[in-house]
A and B are shown apart, each in its own frame.
Chain A
Amino acid sequence: MELLPQVILDGILIGGIYITIAIGFSLVFGVMHIIDFAVGEWIMLGAFLGYYLNGWTGLDPFALLPVVFVVFFGIGYLIQPAIQRVISGHRGNPLLMGLVFTFGIMLIIRGLGLTIFGFYSRSIPSKLAASSWLFEKGDFFLTVPFVRLAGLAFAVAITLVLHYMLKKTDFGTGVRALAQHKESAGLMGVDSHKTNCIIYGIYVGISAMTGVLVCTIFSMTPMEGGRYTVLAFFVVVLAGMGYLPGVPWAALFLGLIQSIFIVYLSASYTLLAVFVVLYIILLISPKGLFGRGW
């Protein structure tokens, strides 16, 4: 029982990473109804850009986040028109076509990643990684690694910025209008093409920044992208597809489940356990934890 506070804390800290993994994915689905199979690969690419930038400049990974965001915002902005082309027009099933197209992109990125970066695992060194807080009072103790805490702080910041952008700015109002009804939003003067490109850029940028965090806290290999795609998918389905406010809670919930399983059972059962939990929740409430999904 002495472990319980530590387990809960670890769960919350892991959950913080899951928020950033899933929040862009959910945003893109909510606005454009694209399920991006390549989300894990953006995370992977971001991690490697961070790794090399860190090697060249020697700057702390947290200082590199804006650079990574700008680069991948550009990539997302440029790639969106191709996806838009696939999911619109007289094509049988837009959702399926988008899924298949991003599946293709995923294979390309993974292949390129393996060619360029090799099969080795990389990790970005950070000054924060060496230090942590330690509370101790008799039997009760609690360790808070600084890097993970910074990761959680970053996730909270991203969530708040997105919230502010969507609720308080004109651009956000346009995005929400677009998510509700594309044609009407167009008639009200929302430039759907440009908005979609920007949203997609934001999503790819957030995912890439998450990659830098993951690479700092854990490590990254070019093969690992798929794992994060699955995690992002779990969080988003748990929250309800496209229901953004549910994402942070679903992510924290998932982090808690994972940390409990790692400590009390075995790390090798976590994916299975998470899947079973997801399965049961979907049986009870197909629209996610809050019943507000698409």
Chain B
Amino acid sequence: MFFGVGAYTTAILMKLGGWAFILTVPLGGLFAGILAFFVGLPTLRLKGSYFAIGTWALALALQQLALILDITGGPDGMRLPPYLNPSYFYYWMLGVVGGTFALYWILLEWAPFGLKVRAIREDQDGAMALGINPTRVKVQSFVLSAVPVGLLGSIYAYWITFIDPLSAFGDILTDQAVVMAVVGGLGTLIGPAIGAVIVFTFKTLFWAYLSDYQVLYLIILGVAIALTVLFLPNGLWGTFINYRDSSRGMRTQSVSRPRIDASEHSDEQEKGAPEHG
């Protein structure tokens, strides 16, 4: 959804406003952030994770909006002036991804913000008792997660030079993002990166050999999600950390990796791992 917002921001500003590409990218991120703020404000006040369906629904609504408005070109989509220089976009992408990773690392691993986020994840009521406003932190995290997606959407629009409601707000983008995060490990920084590598390696192979059976791709994504959740609920990276720590017999630092801690307790009981720490 935020991807689409970024993509359409760039497309509209460049085509109708005649803006330079460099100026439109930050605006794509900004609009995605603003949207995330207004969406998050009511939905994140609800307990639990079902705001996910809320944002999914909004994505459908925005797709519909992009289909009927004149400014977005409706179902025909928008064409941008081509700029054929793959390495140019490669560096842009690298910059955004690297910057995002660095920013998240600093915010989540070093700054107090990361502690607040973890406190809420572990125990929302406990965090509230310590004077943390859960809704505010959640909205901040949500905005923080939306901005890079908006930036990438902006770059994508100029790179591919064609966007339409289906490619910008389509389901397949969301589906893949969910698979990446779940397979890699939810709530970890490195997990989704591993998941992304796996998904895209697979996707390339799939399109190369099995492109006649497009629908099969959906089924495989679905099976991957279901099996991972059933048998590896911590994802590949989470399971790896879990295994490494329990084989060393170390207590995981509860501050830095709380998601693993939830299952650590049961692991120790089952395997009877000695506790040296």
Does B263 lie within 8 Å of A108, measured CB to CB? no
- Asked if B43 is at the interface of the complex by the 8 Å CB criterion, the answer is yes
Question: Roughly how many angstroms separate A283 CA and B45 CA in the complex, as a whole number?
Answer: 9
Quick one: closest B residue to A272, CB to CB? B61
- Asked if B50 is at the interface of the complex by the 8 Å CB criterion, the answer is yes
- Asked if B190 is at the interface of the complex by the 8 Å CB criterion, the answer is no
Does B57 lie within 8 Å of A107, measured CB to CB? no
Interface residues of B in 57-100 (CB under 8 A from A): 57-58, 60-61, 64-65, 67-68
Nearest CB in chain A: distance from B266 CB, A: 5
Question: Roughly how many angstroms separate A169 CA and B176 CA in the complex, as a whole number?
Answer: 45
Does B53 lie within 8 Å of A229, measured CB to CB? yes
Interface membership of chain B positions 265-276, coded 1 if the CB is closer than 8 angstroms to chain A and 0 otherwise: 110000000000
Q: How large is the interface on B (under 10, 10 to 19, 20 to 34, 35 or more residues)?
A: 35 or more
- Asked if A218 is at the interface of the complex by the 8 Å CB criterion, the answer is no
Contacts of B229 in A (CB 8 A): 86, 97, 100-101, 104
Does B49 lie within 8 Å of A271, measured CB to CB? no
Contacts of B218 in A (CB 8 A): 107-108, 110-111, 114
Beyond A90-B265, A92-B187, A92-B259, whether A100 also contacts B215 by CB under 8 A is no
Contacts of A111 in B (CB 8 A): 215-222
Interface membership of chain B positions 43-56, coded 1 if the CB is closer than 8 angstroms to chain A and 0 otherwise: 10111111011101
- Asked if A144 is at the interface of the complex by the 8 Å CB criterion, the answer is no
- Asked if B114 is at the interface of the complex by the 8 Å CB criterion, the answer is no
- Asked if B109 is at the interface of the complex by the 8 Å CB criterion, the answer is no
* Interface of A (DSSP majority class): helix
Beyond A92-B186, A97-B233, A271-B64, whether A230 also contacts B56 by CB under 8 A is yes
Beyond A90-B263, A93-B49, A268-B64, whether A107 also contacts B219 by CB under 8 A is yes
Contacts of B64 in A (CB 8 A): 268-269, 271-272
- Asked if B137 is at the interface of the complex by the 8 Å CB criterion, the answer is no
- Asked if A257 is at the interface of the complex by the 8 Å CB criterion, the answer is no
Beyond A93-B49, A103-B225, A237-B54, whether A282 also contacts B233 by CB under 8 A is no
Number of residues of chain A lying within 8 A (CB) of chain B? 48
Does A107 lie within 8 Å of B53, measured CB to CB? no
Quick one: closest B residue to A104, CB to CB? B225
From B58, B215, B217, B262, contact of A275 by CB (8 A):
B58
Quick one: closest B residue to A101, CB to CB? B229
Interface membership of chain A positions 232-266, coded 1 if the CB is closer than 8 angstroms to chain B and 0 otherwise: 01100100010000000000000000000000001
Contacts of A90 in B (CB 8 A): 262-263, 265-266
- Asked if B226 is at the interface of the complex by the 8 Å CB criterion, the answer is yes
Interface membership of chain B positions 134-169, coded 1 if the CB is closer than 8 angstroms to chain A and 0 otherwise: 000000000000000000000000000000000000
Would you list the 5 A-B pairs with minimal beta carbon distance, nearest first? A107-B222, A104-B225, A111-B218, A111-B219, A108-B222
